[in-house]
Amino acid sequence: MEDINLHFTGDFNAVEKANNLLSALIDNNIQSKVNNLNIDPRTILWKRVIDMNDRALRDITIGLGGTANGVPREDGFNITPASEVMAILCMATSFDNLKERLGSIFIGFTFDKKPVFARDLKAENAMAILLKDAIKPNLVQTLEENPAIIHGGPFANIAQGTNTVLATKMGLSLSNYVVTEAGFGADLGAEKFLNIKSAFAGLNPKCVVLVATIRALRHHGGAQKEEYNTPSLERVEEGFKNLEKHIGNIRKFNIEPVVAINSFISDSEEEVNLVIEKCQNLGVYAVLSEGWAKGGEGTKELAKAVVDVVENKATQFKPLYDWKSPVKEKIETIAREIYGADGVIYDKKAELNLRRIDRLGFSDFAICMAKTQKSFSDDEKLIGRPTGFKVTVREIEIAAGAQFIIPILGKMMRMPGLPARPASEGMTIDNNGVISGLS
Amino acid sequence: MEDINLHFTGDFNAVEKANNLLSALIDNNIQSKVNNLNIDPRTILWKRVIDMNDRALRDITIGLGGTANGVPREDGFNITPASEVMAILCMATSFDNLKERLGSIFIGFTFDKKPVFARDLKAENAMAILLKDAIKPNLVQTLEENPAIIHGGPFANIAQGTNTVLATKMGLSLSNYVVTEAGFGADLGAEKFLNIKSAFAGLNPKCVVLVATIRALRHHGGAQKEEYNTPSLERVEEGFKNLEKHIGNIRKFNIEPVVAINSFISDSEEEVNLVIEKCQNLGVYAVLSEGWAKGGEGTKELAKAVVDVVENKATQFKPLYDWKSPVKEKIETIAREIYGADGVIYDKKAELNLRRIDRLGFSDFAICMAKTQKSFSDDEKLIGRPTGFKVTVREIEIAAGAQFIIPILGKMMRMPGLPARPASEGMTIDNNGVISGLS
Amino acid sequence: MEDINLHFTGDFNAVEKANNLLSALIDNNIQSKVNNLNIDPRTILWKRVIDMNDRALRDITIGLGGTANGVPREDGFNITPASEVMAILCMATSFDNLKERLGSIFIGFTFDKKPVFARDLKAENAMAILLKDAIKPNLVQTLEENPAIIHGGPFANIAQGTNTVLATKMGLSLSNYVVTEAGFGADLGAEKFLNIKSAFAGLNPKCVVLVATIRALRHHGGAQKEEYNTPSLERVEEGFKNLEKHIGNIRKFNIEPVVAINSFISDSEEEVNLVIEKCQNLGVYAVLSEGWAKGGEGTKELAKAVVDVVENKATQFKPLYDWKSPVKEKIETIAREIYGADGVIYDKKAELNLRRIDRLGFSDFAICMAKTQKSFSDDEKLIGRPTGFKVTVREIEIAAGAQFIIPILGKMMRMPGLPARPASEGMTIDNNGVISGLS
Amino acid sequence: MEDINLHFTGDFNAVEKANNLLSALIDNNIQSKVNNLNIDPRTILWKRVIDMNDRALRDITIGLGGTANGVPREDGFNITPASEVMAILCMATSFDNLKERLGSIFIGFTFDKKPVFARDLKAENAMAILLKDAIKPNLVQTLEENPAIIHGGPFANIAQGTNTVLATKMGLSLSNYVVTEAGFGADLGAEKFLNIKSAFAGLNPKCVVLVATIRALRHHGGAQKEEYNTPSLERVEEGFKNLEKHIGNIRKFNIEPVVAINSFISDSEEEVNLVIEKCQNLGVYAVLSEGWAKGGEGTKELAKAVVDVVENKATQFKPLYDWKSPVKEKIETIAREIYGADGVIYDKKAELNLRRIDRLGFSDFAICMAKTQKSFSDDEKLIGRPTGFKVTVREIEIAAGAQFIIPILGKMMRMPGLPARPASEGMTIDNNGVISGLS
């Protein structure tokens, strides 16, 4: 676990380096008179990334200190999982396609208002070289020695939230069943897995496992933090509305869900049974999943339910929107259908961003929402199944190589900060390399 | 070669992450009210690093954009090999010592003018966790399947220029002869290997191989760039003064040098013989080294010469200065004895830095010069063996964990820039992963 | 004319100095340990001002360069007429009241989130000293030697657009009729003169003179720039809708307007007659005003019309909104009633600003809109009498001493920029001080 | 007194506006595509000014916030008396010459490294228009109704320290005797009055009055702040060395000084007599001056001494250096002859500045030192008559329109800061405009 959370195979680092190489090439081109592309430094949308929660780097001024130090301009760092290079790695269908996409990254404009792409800086090959190993899926094994492929790490709240197309296709070529994680709430991970990755890669998912916990249902039912571990049929009943909305959402894609109740020792039997019963009423399997405690044995029932759905109830997946629809229509579809919002408000800046997307001919891209994972809405305080709300698009980023339009909702940031008491304070490592305090 | 130049085993990345974790913890502490150390953001000397030639990051303003984004302050990035974490990795004698040194990193001051160290932020364990694999030497093998240890990468112009103490000690425990590279001109790499690493780790080097090329001697003899490959006895004769100074320098450490003439196809026999002869006059072996073309076979003669020196001529190494001497005396010793300077000029800022070092009780640290590798002086245009010059100390950095005082000479920068035409432009990689254009 | 446009009596300069003294005191307090108020530099809303069109000062970072140079923070300059000190000068009812208002200026928050006012810095007396002459109305005379009072200079697009309360009251104490200018379109100048100044100072205006030009009516009727001087009944007919809206607006205040047609040599008789006739149909006097060409003689007819309205048709002025109404209701009233908008959109930032206003107890202040003078809407391209539009509030400034809430609409900036070809290029002054090229 | 210290006739404001108009024109030219001069924003040496002690404006970044807000660059404000426009106003010999000098202001370089002047922006006429009244000397009268001309206000520590050439010439045309103030220590004010103003304008001063106080002599004799008002023959005797150096300095210009002892009530007769006696030993008149207490009557003796010197002892003034000498020679002459320094140290930046001055052909300009007024040296703690010190030139500014080279010595800043407890805190003004607390 630690080794995966630490540097692992270096893929994150490779993504970070490829991203930042492009940044250095941009600033170098502005500085240099050789092959100068006449880039207007104030229009550069391409940001540096760092794999660190570092809020102080969100909004910075670079190139200060005189003529030897580049040209002053405003910039900012995103966290590495939010890098378009990560998105490209996840969407690439081949090494050639990787280079093609890297070259298509949109950077900004010249002083003559012409768009500039990474390929104008001849950056795609050097970036691809840095990614030559990262593009290869990583095969690991579980504690029970089952094979697992770990490849790509885009968080679902700020990015597309699921692993690479290559890894999934490799899995499909090797096995009858491939299970893929798409985290951070099905309104984020599943929505993007289906509308972006599956739609693009021609995947035909047969079943969606919705992972629920009694704890989380209590929370969505109104329990305070200190009550999370206290059984309460009432809270679970109220919180079930959240799960019910997710169930309905999956069915909008013409897929049958299975609910996995991720077992905790604080769960009461009554609560678990309540969830199972309410799911049955909706015609959905709900199964207690005890993988954490019992390994494969503990998820047998879940597996059977999934097999049953795939074998006997599978329907033909269809995405919720057509990539070719107008941008606002696509955003509105997600907001209304998946989030249950009454509509979408666009801040001035977002409206200007939309006009630019249109002018650049990027309207056919997929929508990759950046939204809090704590609520269906863009306000993390609205728990359960909120209604009567609108979501606000603050600004819209472009990832032309990944072919994403990224609306930033509410207060979402693509660079997180550390907590007031950072986890690092509690970590120790002894002379034998034994680590404690990683949570 | 490519794999080593690319991400290799991830050590550089681990160093970078550990360095930048400390930065994030500093800015987080300033932002947060929990355990706030009252750090004055304007006094922070600890910089972020990135493994990229990126001049636009030398001088930046961070923490802009409002209260959620930290506190505004001036900052800058160094290149990763210049990180104090790299220096600490290279100087650490054990894992425990690594943590101890990480904790001793000096960060800046509180508003009450008290010094702040990494340990005040409880950062050393989390940093050490990130370095838990990087601290282990990497064993690779040459094309002829000889073992080689690659561990640590501090450039000798901006850092201490040689690999880790642990790697060298591991080598010494495994073999009779250990050969260590210390690059970037013997006035930098060798001086630091001897005065810093050997003095600190109690090493007793028996021989120094000075690697010379006919090309470089022509350059130091006044050849223009387009003449570098044109034989010229006159140039080589004139350029030999540079080599002669290096030979003399090594002897000041009470060590006998051997000169390896790194063979190029553009060398003329007369030039090579001239160098051999002039070395002989100084009582020094000079041997043609043809390792690039012929592998181990091509360096047999060189090896014999080294063995002869070690077996028959070895003397007792002594460092050029005592770490306990006053700071200015140590700097002056290197400048006069190794560079051949007439003296040292301190800019106002450097004088202020010196006063701070004294106040903080850091005067006993080793001197780790940052100086151009292109000249004995701090002006890269003064080739050959310049005399009648002074060097200017612009400012002085502190690396309290590594126990280094780092005077920055002339125009030296600890963050380089890309060339006007970056190498990346000429690189390609095909679909089979074959790379060309790496120079 | 030149002397008034140049430094005049120094009032603008005094306002600027008083404003910037407060800024210097704020930054000095942050820097200094004596009487330190614990101000959070990131929360400071008080901006510096300069009487210059200088867009590069809109958004700046100050306090850079180390501990001697203050504390780094983001700041910006507004143009002097937008200074709250100018607003306070215009609203002050006495010297005592001036000091009181200066002391009530809201600056920002402490780190403990407590509001900070100018009086906390003991700034109000020193600021008042700088304004001791500026507070006195300036008496000048026209070319025909009539007395005129010039006092205060807040532009109506970015500020309250009319002269000081003291000057108007002085005029009223000296004469039966006082004519006051309130420029930049009656949707701005008149609206603010009535809702802010008259409502606050208990003035009872008897008549409003709407100044129209045939040129402007052609423009609002769709004429292109090169057609502005070309007579066109059709354009004037169409453009009259703009004037008709202004006429209706004035009547909403329970005041009768008189239209003054400011005569230009390019006007055709037919056009002038058309306007007169269309006004008559609305029951409004429209009179050709030839003051520019003929002086007092040329405005006799206009004066007679005004006297007739005042003597025979005057009604009891009432403001359009009650200062005590909720903020959004006040803004909406102006937008719907005066601009003819369908509603008001608030950007995220404006919503946050509103919450702050509420929390600080500033909701009872007057609304002082910042909006383009080129359209009833916030989009300068919507000429004539636009309908079916909404206005967007981008952000909301607070002027607690002036008791203003200042919504910034559309792209309005409180610091203008110079034109691409600045007027200064065409100015000359000879050795006798004769100036040409002032336009 | 207050009215002069406050806005007076607006000259300072006019200087400030003219200075900042040029700044706005520069940034506007960088922003605009019309008549774009291709100015490299990183090379601009022209700074904005503000008449405020405002350290937070010393080092700023402007032009942030996107393409509408200009181009990001580093800038800074000086205090208005340090403006080159003030220097030009003081040096101008006619209105024509004023314009000529304004046009000659050096701004920075184009990207092609060509120098840019104010005239390239066609700025000189608009700037001159702003100065059209400021160029006229201001006639005021003393409490005894004697005429006095107040014109120009460049501080002698950071600027040339004396009033305008026009004012002095006007005085000379109206009266037999003209007395001019040149403040801040005779090593600053007098040195510049003589070497810059008199040398340039062909003045032939006949006598220099050195104003001394017993208090200051006690200070230079080692008295602590709390002892300043305590008589001490010993301190005065020791402090006299400072005055003796000033006396010797004046004689180096071939002028006889008269010492005016500015009477304070804390002076003891013995101290006054000691100074008179020691001056007599040097052949110099020393006279008690009681102007503050007794007006003209109190300075009669002083006037007689001056007349005696002028009538009977006057010699032919000669400047200490020739403007045509090399820059370093001129600086060294002042440092050695006037300050008593052993030499001059140039920081790296100053050396680079010197090279630029040479390249631009500005070497023939006068030297206008920026140095603390608290010591003959550049270290304000070295009181009395220090010896055995060197002065450090940190950087060198250029004022090409004024024809000044401005070396910045030690820690001198051309923008001061407010004290920890700003004077404004103690000021009050009542409703009758009576001010107290101005010190």
Side-chain half-sphere of A10: how many Cα atoms within 13 Å? 22
Q: How far apart are CA D159 and CA D406, in angstroms?
A: 8
Asked if B15 and B151 touch (Cβ cutoff 8 Å), the reply is no
Number of cross-chain residue pairs from A and D with Cβ atoms under 8 Å apart: 33
Q: What token pair was written down for A278? A: 């309410």
Q: Which residue of C has its CA nearest to B74?
A: C64
Whether residue A185 is predicted with pLDDT greater than 60 in this model: the reply is: yes
Is residue D1 very low, low, confident or very high in pLDDT (cuts 50, 70, 90)?
low
Residues within 8 A of D (CB atoms), C 385-424 only? 413, 417-418, 420-424
What's the order of all strands across the beta sheet hosting C390-399?
A: C343-346, C390-399, C404-409, C366-367
pLDDT of residue C396: 97
The CA dihedral of C250, C253, C255, C261, to the nearest 10 degrees, is: -10
Neighbours of D45 (CB within 10 A): 16
Phi, psi values for residue A428, rounded to 5°: -140, 155
CATH number of B2-130: 3.30.1510.10
Q: Do C72 and B67 touch (CB under 8 A)?
A: no
* pLDDT digit string, tens, across residues C263-304: 999 999 999 999 999 999 999 999 999 998 999 999 999 999
Asked if D60's CB is within 8 angstroms of C61's CB, the reply is: yes
Q: Helix H segments across C346-392?
A: 348-360
Query: C69 to chain B: nearest residue by CA?
Result: B42
Indicate the residue of C61, C67, C73 with minimum beta-carbon distance to B40. C67
Measured between beta carbons, the chain B residues lying within 8 angstroms of C41 are 71-72
**Cα angle value C235/C236/C237 (rounded, 5°):** 90
Place of tokens 């900036």: C413
Name the residue of chain C whose CA is nearest to B68's CA.
Answer: C42
* pLDDT recorded at residue D374: 95
- Mutation to test the B interface, candidates A16, A25, A69, A421, most B Cβ within 10 Å: A69
Q: Give the mean pLDDT of B35-51.
A: 96
Helices (H), B221-316: 233-251, 269-281, 291-294, 300-308
- The residues that bridge with D32 in the sheet, in sequence order, are none
**By the 8 A CB rule, do C139 and C127 touch?**
no
Contact D394 B348 (CB under 8 A): yes
Res D400: pLDDT:
97
Instruction: List chains touching B (3+ CB pairs under 8 A).
Output: A, C, D
Taking alpha carbons only, the member of A26, A19, A54, A61 closest to residue A40 is A26
Q: Is the confidence at residue A4, as pLDDT, over 70?
A: no
Q: Report the residue from B20, B54, B99 with minimal CB separation from A52.
A: B20
pLDDT bucket at D147, cuts 50 / 70 / 90: confident
Query: Would you call C61 an interface residue with chain A, using a CB distance cutoff of 8 Å?
Result: yes
- Tell me, what's the pLDDT at A1? 56
- Across D195-223, average pLDDT: 96
Q: pLDDT averaged over chain A?
A: 93
* Mean pLDDT within A272-279: 97
| pLDDT tier, A7 (very low <50, low <70, confident <90, very high otherwise) | low
CB contact B156 to A (< 8 Å):
no
Q: Contact at 8 Å (CB) between C210 and C247?
A: yes
Question: Does residue D2 have a pLDDT over 60?
Answer: no
Per-residue pLDDT reduced to its tens digit, A79-111 = 999 999 999 999 999 999 999 999 999 999 999
- D427 CA: distance to closest CA in chain C (Å): 6
Shortest distance, CA C131 to any CA of chain B (angstroms): 33
Per-residue pLDDT at A59 exceeds 90: yes
Q: How far is B211 from chain C (nearest CA, A)?
A: 44
The partner residue sitting opposite C74, judged by closest CB among B42, B64, B73, is: B64
Q: Which residues of A touch B61 (CB under 8 A)?
A: 60-61, 64
Q: How many CA atoms lie within 13 A of C23 on its CB side?
A: 31
Percentages helix, strand, coil for chain D, rounded to the nearest 5?
40, 15, 40
Minimum distance, in Å, between the CA of residue A347 and any CA atom of chain C: 5
Measured distance CA(B335)–CA(B195) in Å, rounded: 13
pLDDT for res A313: 87
B368/B371 Cα distance (integer angstroms): 10
Q: Please state the separation of Cα B424 from the chain's center in Å.
A: 24
Predicted pLDDT at D300: 96
Residues of C in contact with D71 (CB under 8 A): 56
C204-225 tens-digit pLDDT: 999 999 999 999 999 999 999 9
The letter for the amino acid at D48 is R
Run of H or E including D365? none
Mean pLDDT for C375-380 is 96
Interface test with D, best of A31, A71, A352, A395 (most D CBs within 10 A): A71
The verdict on a CB contact (< 8 Å) between C431 and D96 is yes
Residue C360: the pLDDT is 96
Q: Kindly report the length of chain A.
A: 439
CATH 3.10.410.10 fits C327-409, yes or no: yes
Is the predicted pLDDT of residue B63 greater than 70, yes or no?
A: yes
Among A53, A417, A427, beta carbon nearest to B125:
A427
Whole-Å CA distances, C208 to C171, C178, C303: 17, 12, 12
Residues on chain A touching B68 (C-beta within 8 angstroms): 55, 413, 417
Name the DSSP letter for residue D80: G
Nearest CA in chain A to C65: A65
What letter does residue C119 receive in the DSSP assignment?
Answer: G
- Interface mutation vs chain D, best among B347, B390, B391, most D CBs within 10 Å: B347
Strand partners, A260: A211, A287
Distance CA B326, CA D87 (A): 47
pLDDT digits (tens, 9 = 90+) for D42-62: 999 999 999 999 999 999 999
**Is it the case that residue B138 has pLDDT exceeding 70?**
yes
pLDDT of res. D429: 87
Whether B1 has a pLDDT exceeding 60, the answer reads no
Nearest of B267, B283, B386, B399 to residue B335 by alpha carbon: B386
Chain B CB contacts of C42 below 8 Å: 66-67, 71-72
Taking the Cβ of residue B219 and every Cβ of chain D, the question of whether any pair is shorter than 8 Å is answered with: no
Mean pLDDT of D262-290: 96
pLDDT of B120 over the 70 cut: yes
**Across residues B342-366, what is the average pLDDT?**
95
What ipTM does this complex have?
A: 0.91
Cβ-contact D17, D130 below 8 angstroms? yes
pLDDT of amino acid B159: 87
Which residues in chain C are contacts of D59 at CB distance < 8 A? 63-65, 69
How many residues make up chain C in this entry? 439
Give every CB contact of residue C188 below 8 A, 6+ residues apart in sequence: C156, C157, C161, C369, C371, C373
pLDDT of D158 reads 87
How near does any CA of chain C get to the CA of B48, in Å? 18
Q: Counting beta carbons within 10 angstroms of the beta carbon of residue C62, is it exposed (0 to 12), middle (13 to 18) or buried (19 or more)?
A: buried
| CB contact B74 to C (< 8 Å) | yes
A43: chain D residues, CB-CB within 8 Å: 67
User: Averaged over A307-318, what is the pLDDT?
Assistant: 92
With contacts defined as CB-CB under 8 Å, which chain C residues touch A348?
347, 392, 394
Give the pLDDT band of residue C254 (cuts 50, 70, 90). Answer: very high
Closest CA to C16 of D50, D61, D53: D50
**Mean pLDDT, chain D, as a whole number?**
93
Nearest to D424 among C68, C122, C418 (CB): C122
Between residues D308 and A1, the one the model is more confident about: D308
CB contact under 8 A, D67 and A43: yes
* Contact state of C348 with A61 under an 8 Å Cβ cutoff: no
Which residue ranges make up each domain of chain B? 2-130, 206-312, 327-409
Whole-number pLDDT of residue C183? 80
Task: Give the model's pLDDT for residue C2.
Answer: 57
Distances (CA, A) of D180 to A184, B408, D208, D312, D372: 79, 49, 10, 21, 22
Q: Read off the pLDDT of each residue in A188-204 and give the average, rounded to a whole number.
A: 96
Q: What is the pLDDT of residues B209-255, one digit of tens each?
A: 999 999 999 999 999 999 999 999 999 999 999 999 999 999 999 99
The 10s digit of each residue's pLDDT in C145-180 is: 888 898 987 888 888 888 999 999 999 999 999 999
Question: In this predicted model, what pLDDT tens digit does every residue of D311-367 receive, in sequence order?
Answer: 998 789 999 999 999 999 999 999 999 999 999 999 989 999 999 999 999 999 999
Chain D touched by B74 (CB under 8 Å): no
- Please determine, for residue C240, whether its predicted confidence score (pLDDT) is greater than 90: yes
H-only helix segments in D189-283? 189-192, 199-201, 214-220, 233-251, 269-281
B206-312 topology per CATH: Nucleotidyltransferase; domain 5 (3.30.420)
**Percent of chain A with pLDDT strictly greater than 70:** 98
